[in-house]
Amino acid sequence: LLQMPHEFFRAKVDFELPDPGRYAVAVCFLPQDDYRRTKLEALLELNVRIEGQRVLGWRDVPVDLEHVGETANSTRPVMRQLLVEAGPGFESDRDAFERKLYVIRRICELAAGPDLYVSSFSSRTIVYKGMLVPDQVRNFFPDLTDPKMKSAMALVHSRFSTNTFPSWPLAHPYRVIAHNGEINTLMGNVNWMRARESQLSSKLFGLDLQKIMPIIPPGNSDTATFDNVLELLMLAGRSLPHAAMMMIPEAYADRDDLPDHLKGFYAFHSCLMEPWDGPAAVAFTDGTVIGATLDRNGLRPGRWVETHDGLVVLGSEAGLLPIKSSEIKRLGRLQPGKLFLVDLERHCIVEDEQVKREVSMRQPYGDWYEHNTVHFDDLAEAHVTLTGLQPTKLRQLAFGYSQEDERVLITPMAATGAEPTGSMGNDNSLAVLSDRRPPLFSYFKQLFAQVTNPPIDSIRESIVMSLAVGIGGERNLLAETPEHAHKLILDQPILRNHELETLRIVHDEIFRAHTLDITWPIADGPEGMRAALAKLCDDAHDAVADGVNLLILSDRQVGHKRAPIPSLLAVAAVHEHLVREGTRLQTGLVLESGEPREVHHMATLIGYGCGAINPYLLLDTVGDLVAAGRVPGIDNVDVAERNVVKAIGKGLLKTISKMGISTIQSYCGAQIFEAVGLEKALIDRHFTGTASRIGGIGIDVLARETLDRHAGAYPSDHDRLLPVGGIYAWRRDGEHHQWNPDTIALLQHSVRASDGNGSATAKYKEYAALVNDDAARRATLRGLMKFKTAGLEPIDIDEVEPASEIVKRFATGAMSLGSISREAHETLAIAMNRLGGKSNTGEGGEDPV
């Protein structure tokens, strides 16, 4: 990514060029097919003229095919450069010219589809890139070795493709940035940008804005998506550092070392956009400045050097260029959340403090935030006494609570303010294979950071973590006014019962709350839930159209005649419906439900768009446990409820940190889950974009299971016990476990028995048959798979390696000492040595002698 080399192009083209800044170059990746390529070239030229600019001509980009790999060459596009002169009214306004070039590019990309990729179209910068390793680039592109190819800066990035399949368009750099890292919140960021499009307006773009939608093309990598949004923010009037500070804000909330004007800037912009969170080093340029920034955790490296003769080098590794120490004027490292900027017009490094001071003091952002946001603690507390409540146990039965929920989860949280801890391993049945009617939450598995993507320690790195959320409507992203800060700010997303009532009665010139029922009459049967879900979405649409900006989804009406829609389904359905309608950002989404009671439940609800949650039955259960004296050391309901809210908050921070995410605002709507056992139609409609690799149940089955739970509660003897649960430990009549008394006993008998009479072998075969049968019936997906044998010819046994040779390829996993005992490690090692295989350990496991 270089500055526009005017002298180079003047020497290379056979037509006259205008002065620098009055023409631009589009670097186009075109199909090898002549017919398709000709059509796309005509499309580009046509739209250049329609948009009031002048086509100067085309230039073929020379390439040396000796310096490209065979696979890369098989998908290599034809590279051509289209030179365009600024039309009337654009010659003296370079910013307006850049915007018009962007509009032309988007029109052509939308019309052409995947056949056309424009790697750059600017009067200031130009991009040379491809599926090449670093030492191929200069040889593949002879242009880059031409003495007339001059630029005051160069942005280069060589990377592995970790999130997408490699392709020429997805090579780095992009039009504005190069990026080392991962955007973990990408799905949420994309969904929120999609929701914002209906609200976008810009004085600078005018009617052209509608020509460029959607802002984010489908199928992009995380970096390409980030580049799309950063480019829009910049062209719509913000400076490049300003846009970067919006998208990757540093941690600011609990820091005393930041000036108030900078804290105010970040707080105000949190009302406009959620952070694009994850481990990231982003380098950027618009041709006039070049810089880089790190994520708030500093999870990617960045080192810089300035020499005495004015050379500045910043890279991910020290020693990228052989610079002698005597030539170094100063050096440093890029720090978490900091900006490094070089002004190419003023020929100087601009310090982080100066850049941020200039950006943050353009407007009184802090005053706007302080005078227009409403903090929840400032609301008048509602003094409401709920009457006519069903007994707690009936509601627990209707929502699928168990004795284990009370004993193993809720009581420890109420007593200690933290989640209980347990040993590793989960041998329960998958939700779709369970016969215990698990809640919908159990069909979703949390993704976690792995390979190149480090998790965060939410305890030691608490300064960068945040549970704060802002709920309410949002305004046009491309403008800045005091009214943009009209948000209701919560310190954390879990509401106690009286807090929900405080929220419910809010009704003023800024906020209007409205409650929507998420139950349905059991007389309507299972099909009634589908109709109720459709009505819920329509009611949400109507409420938002009527000016409601706080939607409360409530299942308080559950009772003898009404059953609850699964709360996760209700939240996801409304969220996705409003996103499709283009009205999601006009309202905040709050859930009042008796169903959620675990951290995972809260995480899925937030992950699918819920801004705040009132788990009223969880809190009612806490009150009953305290009253019954079952919470050790706690005799005050208020203290116990605060402990539960604190425990859930800690659990949420732990959950998002596993994915390398720092703020709950970024996690909201990010959908960082994989569904296991739900049908495609359900996923596509209500959990759009969620990974789901197998089929499964749909709304009808969920409705029947909900009605089954409801039937177990109404009518009912109030003294009826809750089911045992048995998820966290095996219990008779509880959830199935692969490791149960039968399998454990048979395994122990098989390894302890003498095999003189074959009893050990017989016992082991009995054990293996039981385990395999369990796996096939209700425990694992692999247990449901069978080898295909139909139509296959058997192989002569003489052609098969003997078992003694095959087992030499076996290896034990690198399990850490502690995850299994020393005795288990040694037994595995002995076995593998006897077989001729390989044994190893993870961390620990050394002989202490």
Residue 617 has pLDDT above 90, yes or no: yes
473 and 490 together in one domain: yes
CB atoms within 10 A of CB 613: 24
Decide: 176 and 227 in contact? Cβ < 8 Å: yes
50 and 33 together in one domain: yes
The answer to the question of residue 407 being in a domain is yes
Residue 660 has pLDDT above 90, yes or no: no
Q: Which domain range does residue 7 map to?
A: 1-158
Residue range 365-372: mean pLDDT, rounded: 95
Domain boundary among the residues 158, 179, 209 is at 158
Q: What is the DSSP letter of 820?
A: B
Domain boundary among the residues 128, 158, 188 is at 158
- The gap between the terminal CA atoms of the chain, to the nearest Å, is 58
Decide: 327 and 308 in contact? Cβ < 8 Å: yes
Which of helix, strand or coil describes residue 206? helix
The answer to the question of residue 823 being in a domain is yes
Q: How many domains does the chain have?
A: 4
- Amino acid identity for residue 387 in this structure: T
Which of helix, strand or coil describes residue 588? strand
Distance between CA atoms of residues 127 and 104, nearest Å: 18
Residue 807 has pLDDT above 70, yes or no: yes
**The residue to which tokens 């010819």 are assigned:** 793
What residues form DSSP beta bridges with 82? 26, 58
270: nearest Cα among 247, 297, 240, 304: 247
Chain Cα centroid distance, residue 531: 31
DSSP states along 745-813: HHHHHHHHS--TTSHHHHHHHHHHHHHHHHIIIII-SGGG-----TTPPPPPGGGSPPHHHHGGG-B--
Nearest 10 degrees: Cα torsion 91, 93, 97, 100: -120
Distance between CA atoms of residues 680 and 215, nearest Å: 27
Residue 717 has pLDDT above 60, yes or no: no
Q: At what angle do helices 240-247 and 260-270 cross, to 10 degrees?
A: 70
Residue 242 has pLDDT above 90, yes or no: yes
The answer to the question of residue 321 being in a domain is no
Sign of the dihedral defined by the CA atoms of residues 399, 402, 403, 404, in that order: negative
Q: Could you tell me the two tokens for 244? A: 């970067």
388: left (phi over 0), alpha (psi -120 to 50) or beta: left
pLDDT in tens, 218-231: 888 889 999 999 99
Decide: 171 and 1 in contact? Cβ < 8 Å: no
The answer to the question of residue 403 being in a domain is yes
Residue range 630-636: mean pLDDT, rounded: 94
Distance between CA atoms of residues 453 and 441, nearest Å: 25
pLDDT in tens, 115-171: 999 999 999 999 999 999 989 999 999 999 999 999 999 999 987 666 677 899 999
Domain boundary among the residues 786, 803, 821 is at 786
494 and 561 together in one domain: yes
Residue 383 has pLDDT above 90, yes or no: no
Sign of the dihedral defined by the CA atoms of residues 229, 150, 181, 464, in that order: negative
The answer to the question of residue 681 being in a domain is no
Distance between CA atoms of residues 43 and 52, nearest Å: 15
Give 454's pLDDT tier (boundaries 50, 70, 90).
low
Give 510's pLDDT tier (boundaries 50, 70, 90).
confident
Q: Could you tell me which residues come within 8 angstroms of residue 95 by beta carbon, excluding any fewer than 6 positions away?
A: 204, 235
pLDDT in tens, 296-343: 888 888 999 999 999 999 998 877 888 999 999 999 999 998 999 999
Q: Could you tell me the two tokens for 800? A: 């098969």
Distance between CA atoms of residues 699 and 538, nearest Å: 18
Cis peptide leading into 723, omega within 30 of 0? no
Give 32's pLDDT tier (boundaries 50, 70, 90).
very high
827 and 772 together in one domain: no
Question: What pLDDT score does 755 carry?
Answer: 62
Residue range 762-776: mean pLDDT, rounded: 78
540 and 568 together in one domain: yes
Residue range 459-463: mean pLDDT, rounded: 80
Residue range 483-487: mean pLDDT, rounded: 94
The answer to the question of residue 197 being in a domain is no
Of 443-447, 550-554, 784-788, the range with the highest mean pLDDT is 550-554
Give 785's pLDDT tier (boundaries 50, 70, 90).
confident
Residue range 278-303: mean pLDDT, rounded: 91
805 and 747 together in one domain: no
Question: What pLDDT score does 519 carry?
Answer: 97
- Helix (H) or strand (E) run with residue 2 in it: strand 2-3
- Indicate which CATH number applies to the domain containing 628: 3.20.20.70
For every residue of 16-35, which 3-state class applies, written as one string? CCCCCCCEEEEEEEECCCHH
82: nearest Cα among 101, 106, 100: 101
**The residue to which tokens 């116990």 are assigned:** 640
Decide: 530 and 652 in contact? Cβ < 8 Å: no
User: Of the given ranges (65-74, 103-112, 582-591, 837-846), which has the lowest mean pLDDT?
Assistant: 837-846
131 and 11 together in one domain: yes
663 and 781 together in one domain: no
Decide: 68 and 141 in contact? Cβ < 8 Å: no
814 and 762 together in one domain: no
Question: What pLDDT score does 759 carry?
Answer: 75
Distance between CA atoms of residues 340 and 174, nearest Å: 19
Largest CA distance in the chain: 99
Q: At what angle do helices 94-112 and 222-235 cross, to 10 degrees?
A: 140
Cis peptide leading into 62, omega within 30 of 0? no
Ranges of H-type helices in 203-338: 222-235, 240-247, 260-270
Which of helix, strand or coil describes residue 514? strand
Percent of the chain with pLDDT over 90: 67
Angle subtended at Cα 245 by Cα 242 and Cα 251, rounded to the nearest 5 degrees: 150
778 and 807 together in one domain: no
Q: What is the DSSP letter of 406?
A: I
State the pairing for strand pair 612-615/588-593. Answer: parallel
- Indicate which CATH number applies to the domain containing 2: 3.60.20.10
125: nearest Cα among 282, 283, 289, 311: 289
Q: At what angle do helices 94-112 and 34-50 cross, to 10 degrees?
A: 140
69: nearest Cα among 129, 131, 22: 131
Percent of the chain with pLDDT over 70: 93
Q: Could you tell me the two tokens for 531? A: 């109709």
The answer to the question of residue 505 being in a domain is yes
Question: What pLDDT score does 723 carry?
Answer: 72
State the pairing for strand pair 177-181/280-285. Answer: antiparallel
Distance between CA atoms of residues 123 and 4, nearest Å: 7
What residues form DSSP beta bridges with 179? 282
DSSP states along 531-571: HHHHHHHHHHHHHHHTT--EEEEE-TT-SSSEEEPPHHHHH
Give 359's pLDDT tier (boundaries 50, 70, 90).
very high
Judged on CB neighbours under 10 Å (0-12, 13-18, 19+), 546 is exposed
Residue range 668-680: mean pLDDT, rounded: 94
671: left (phi over 0), alpha (psi -120 to 50) or beta: left
Give 451's pLDDT tier (boundaries 50, 70, 90).
low
668 and 795 together in one domain: no
Q: What is the DSSP letter of 380?
A: P
Mean pLDDT score across all residues of the chain? 90
Sign of the dihedral defined by the CA atoms of residues 232, 235, 238, 241, in that order: positive
Of 215-219, 377-381, 532-536, the range with the highest mean pLDDT is 532-536
- Amino acid identity for residue 73 in this structure: N
Question: What pLDDT score does 715 carry?
Answer: 66
Residue 60 has pLDDT above 90, yes or no: yes
Q: Helix-strand-coil percent breakdown of the chain, rounded to 5? A: 40, 15, 45
**Residue 181 phi, psi (nearest 5):** 145, -160
pLDDT in tens, 694-705: 999 999 999 999
Judged on CB neighbours under 10 Å (0-12, 13-18, 19+), 835 is middle
Decide: 398 and 559 in contact? Cβ < 8 Å: no
Q: Could you tell me the two tokens for 391? A: 């007994």
Residue 847 has pLDDT above 60, yes or no: no
The answer to the question of residue 316 being in a domain is no
Sign of the dihedral defined by the CA atoms of residues 148, 153, 159, 161, in that order: negative
362: nearest Cα among 206, 199, 486, 237: 237
Cis peptide leading into 173, omega within 30 of 0? yes
Distance between CA atoms of residues 764 and 552, nearest Å: 56
What residues form DSSP beta bridges with 519? 564
Distance between CA atoms of residues 804 and 274, nearest Å: 58
524 and 590 together in one domain: yes
175: nearest Cα among 249, 239, 92, 234: 234
More confident residue, 56 or 769: 56
749: nearest Cα among 764, 728, 733, 769: 764
Whole-angstrom CA distances from 619 to 507, 606, 613, 615 are 26, 19, 12, 7
